[in-house]
Amino acid sequence: MQITTYQEALDYIYSFIDPTRQGSPDPAIAARSLARLRALLDIAGNPHQQLAAVVVAGTKGKGSTCALIEAMARAAGLRVGLWTSPHLSSYRERIQIDREPISQATLIQLVRDVQPIVDAFDTATYGRPSTFDIGFVMAMRHFVAAHVDLAVVEVGLGGRFDAAATITPLIAVISSISYDHMAILGPTLHDIAYNKAGIMRPGRPAITVPQHPEAAAVFAAEAQTVGAPLWLAAEHTVEPWLASGQPLTYPAPPQPGRLRGGFQRENARLAMGTALLLRDQGVPIDDQAIRRGLAEAWWPGRFELIAGPPRILIDGAHNGDSAQKLWQAISDELPHRQFILVLGTSRDKDIAAIAAALAPQAAHVIITRSNHPKAMDLDRIAAEVAPFTNAPMQIVPVVAEALATAQALAEQDDLICVTGSLFVVGAAREALGLAVAD
């Protein structure tokens, strides 16, 4: 079939979704998935090997860290590709150059180009490619064709067996680690950190932030095993952890200009540390570019405040640790009369941990869900939330209607918070006219 429209291109990409294919904690199964992608990349010309790239893994903050690194590199005059997931409203968000989402016409052409590659693929040996596989191949080919100077690549899940593990990065970046995706990555911080640490490569610097001791020990062991110089984006300097050299000084206080929330300071330190290490490798990012990128970087749906009254805060916190940090940032930065919580999440999330951090603070709780197939059932969310609140609770299945219900309940000094899932966040942004789904 000849792809001629954007919708046909999307239909082709999504036709490779297999609802029976689930992520597995079995390393052998995960390794086979990675082998499948390597084989697909090989017949596509191995575009990932033609890129200078930074790979960013982590449980939380990795998207914001990607946005900050991208902004700093772009402020230095570099042409920068950005691959992230999931998207909020448009698939085109996943593949960007200089923060411009790929055009519909270019995506159509990429799909046309990848069709014969997929048709020639040895499915008998490797199995059918996934939607994520195809998107990753298209992104890498797009970046090569556009002659980007640097690709900033966000890990989709884990790291060791993710698509990004096919890349040998200039810098391996690991943001904060906490509990998430335990059914796939394992039940302990050691297991989760082991998966994230898999992006480290021999002789290539790696950088992380202060971590729980269980995760920190894993990163130190992995760095020693593979021979990766390991750096720590600490409070005041970037410190050599298992690397030679002197501490590096941040060229500005780690306070992003447009990315609100105290938790973003840690991401800012990590991004600035990455930029400094890139500079050491000859990538021309000067102090002025770092400062400008820090001031201008933007990542929607993360502590995104919409002016009121009443004010509406949209944040993609989707695990207990993120929810705790969200509430701390609200307490520190957003004084309010009543807190109205609009909450929806995905089936694989620890809703009890999210509820424990946020529900006790709420004067009203409105339970909702996105249209995503992985959205958690409304009754289950309500049952998980109930032990943590005495506030009135309503179930409103459609995000736009849930938001309207919250607005009807709120007075001008109240704060509405929509959280629990990036898919819910995307629907809320569309309801508020901040984005258009395609």
- DSSP character string of 344-378: --BTTS-HHHHHHHHGGG-SEEEEEE-SSTTBPPH
Compute the distance between CA of residue 277 and CA of residue 290 in angstroms, rounded to an integer.
12
Question: What percentage of the chain exceeds 70 in pLDDT?
Answer: 97
For the stretch 83-105, pLDDT in tens is: 999 999 999 999 999 999 999 99
Q: Which of the pair, 336 or 187, is modelled with greater confidence?
A: 336
pLDDT at 23: 63
The C-alpha atoms of residue 206 and residue 220 are separated, in whole angstroms, by 10
Helix (H, G, I), strand (E, B) or coil at 249: strand
Question: CA angle at residue 79 from 228 to 231, to 5 degrees?
Answer: 20
Q: Which residue has the higher pLDDT, 323 or 178?
A: 323
Q: Name the nearest CA neighbour of 23 among 120, 219, 115, 161.
A: 161
- Residue-wise pLDDT for 11-24, tens only, equals 999 999 876 666 66
**The predicted structure's pLDDT at residue 183:** 64
Non-local CB neighbours of 189 within 8 Å, separated by 6+ positions: 177, 178, 179, 212, 214, 215, 218
Say how many C-beta atoms besides its own lie within 10 A of residue 288's C-beta: 12
Burial tier of 412 (Cβ tally within 10 Å: 0-12, 13-18, 19+): exposed
Q: Is the pLDDT of residue 217 over 90?
A: yes
List, in sequence order, every residue forming a beta bridge with 152; answer none if it has no partner: 54, 82
Question: In whole angstroms, what is the distance from residue 172 CA to residue 200 CA?
Answer: 6
Give 397's pLDDT tier (boundaries 50, 70, 90): very high
304-431 under CATH 3.40.50.1820, yes or no: no
Q: What is the Cα–Cα distance from 278 to 236, expressed in whole angstroms? A: 19
Distances (CA, A) of 91 to 7, 72, 132, 158, 317: 11, 24, 11, 21, 21
| Residue with more model confidence, 67 or 187 | 67
Interatomic CA distance for residues 418 and 88, integer angstroms: 14
Residue 356's alpha-carbon distances to 134, 312, 370, 387, 399, in angstroms, are 38, 21, 21, 9, 22
Whole-number average pLDDT of the chain: 94
User: How is 258-306 classified by DSSP, letter by letter?
Assistant: S--STTHHHHHHHHHHHHHHHHHTT----HHHHHHHHHH---TTSSEEE
Ranges of each domain in the chain: 6-296, 304-431
How far apart (Å, rounded) are the C-alpha atoms in residues 49 and 68?
24
Instruction: State both tokens at 367.
Output: 């339970």
Per the model's pLDDT, the better-predicted residue between 308 and 295 turns out to be 295
Separation between Cα atoms, residue 162 and residue 155, nearest integer Å:
6
Measured distance CA(335)–CA(352) in Å, rounded: 25
**Where are the alpha helices (H) located in 92-203, listed in sequence order?**
104-119, 123-126, 131-145, 182-185, 189-197
Distance CA 181, CA 183 (A): 6
| Domain 6-296, CATH among 3.40.1190.10, 3.40.50.970, 3.40.190.10, 1.10.287.1080 | 3.40.1190.10
**417 beta partners:** 313, 341
Closest CA relative to residue 203, chosen from 177, 235, 232, 171: 171
Q: Are 340 and 416 in contact (CB under 8 A)?
A: yes
**DSSP-derived 3-state class of residue 196:** helix
Span 354-366, pLDDT tens digits = 999 999 999 999 9
Strands of 30-79 (E only): list them.
Answer: 53-57
